[in-house]
Amino acid sequence: MKKLIYILLLLFGAEINAQTLNDYLKIAAENNLGLKAKFKDYEASLEKVNQVGSLPDPVLDFGYFISPIETRNGPQQAKIGVMQMFPWIGTLNAREQVFANMAKSKYEDFEAQKKQLFYMVKKVWYEMNELKQSITIIDANLAILKSFESLATQKFETGSKKGMVDVLRIQMETAELENKLLLVRDKLNVKKVSFNNVLNREPETEITLPETTEVLSVMESKQQLMDSISVANNELRSMEMKKEAFHSSSVVAKKQGLPMLGVGLNYFMIGSTNLSAPNSGQDAFMPMVSVSIPIFRKKYKAQQNEANLNMESVQFQMENKKNMLENELEMTWVDY
């Protein structure tokens, strides 16, 4: 039963005692350090998308001729050149997809952490309410025993020998309940400290508990629950995004094995000459086109194989996770 409640809380986030409980869930989401760390990890992964989606930096070069080279128009004194390389069409987009999907995977990890945090909050919340209800019941029983003790005392005072036995028995039961009450109150205090720790608050911070709590009911069939788990489980979603990222990595590896095109321009500074030749001393421009030739293809093939093997690994992990979730649901359903 408890395991089934665990699954339902993770999947659907029960709206029981919504006003008070939701307030604490909001505090947990805002304050919990582990959840903050997960979100920062996600934000950092988003920055990676901007890094890989840009063109390579252009190359600027400058050369100065210590001994100028004489030409018909005059001596070449210096040269300035700029070159921009362009990856094969679709390479930059594929790189962006790799890290965009990795960022989505990080976000699903964050959501999984948040659900786990909310489960912890709700679990301790319901345990505290259970302990509070136990205290209420024990207090009521103690009040009843006090009444019985008063009646038994009056009976003993009237000369009944049995009245004394009843008084002693009631006093023993009262002492036992009082000890139990102290134990339950100690447990409640421990739970309150644990609850505040999850919320990243001071341990002695006051916690408001409702007078009554509703019982969580299961309306879905076992198959409906399994289908919901397959759709809503963030770990499975995270794995799916990783699989997509590795697929894009395979595309990147393939495109990196294709030529890159470079476009550039050289500017030659030419000094004047004493000859009366036309265009004497006139600077020159030279457009350039270059092509990279990826002849060493072993590394690109290895990168593709690595990406494909990672895809297969993630697929196996997904199937294993689904099997584990299904087994857990089966065992929980039997217990329920």
Q: pLDDT tens digit string along 210-239? A: 876 665 555 566 677 777 777 788 999 999
Looking at residue 26, what is its pLDDT? 92
Looking at residue 145, what is its pLDDT? 86
pLDDT bucket at 297, cuts 50 / 70 / 90: confident
- Identify the residue with better confidence: 239 or 283: 239
pLDDT bucket at 160, cuts 50 / 70 / 90: low
pLDDT cut 90: percent of the chain above it:
51
pLDDT bucket at 125, cuts 50 / 70 / 90: very high
The pTM assigned to this predicted structure is 0.75
**What's the mean pLDDT when you consider all of the chain?**
84
Mean pLDDT of 309-328: 92
pLDDT bucket at 50, cuts 50 / 70 / 90: confident
pLDDT over threshold 70, residue 94: yes
- Identify the residue with better confidence: 283 or 293: 293
Assign domain 2-117+218-335 to a CATH class.
mainly alpha
Most confident of 5-19, 146-160, 205-219, 247-261: 247-261
* CA-derived radius of gyration, the chain: 38
pLDDT over threshold 90, residue 317: yes
CA-nearest of 124, 89, 103 to 258 is 89
Looking at residue 168, what is its pLDDT? 82
pLDDT bucket at 6, cuts 50 / 70 / 90: very low
Looking at residue 15, what is its pLDDT? 41
pLDDT over threshold 50, residue 8: no
pLDDT over threshold 80, residue 275: no
- Exposure string of 249-285, with b = 16+ CB inside 10 Å and e = fewer, is bbbbbbbbbeebebebebebbbbeeeeeeeebeeeee
- Identify the residue with better confidence: 120 or 13: 120
Looking at residue 310, what is its pLDDT? 95
Looking at residue 216, what is its pLDDT? 58
pLDDT bucket at 7, cuts 50 / 70 / 90: very low
Helix (H, G, I), strand (E, B) or coil at 108: helix
pLDDT over threshold 80, residue 291: yes
CB 38 within 8 A of CB 109: yes
CA-nearest of 184, 178, 182, 186 to 142 is 178
β-sheet with 284-291: strand ranges across: 59-71, 74-86, 261-270, 284-291
pLDDT bucket at 157, cuts 50 / 70 / 90: low
**Helical packing angle, 91-157 and 2-12, nearest 10°:** 140
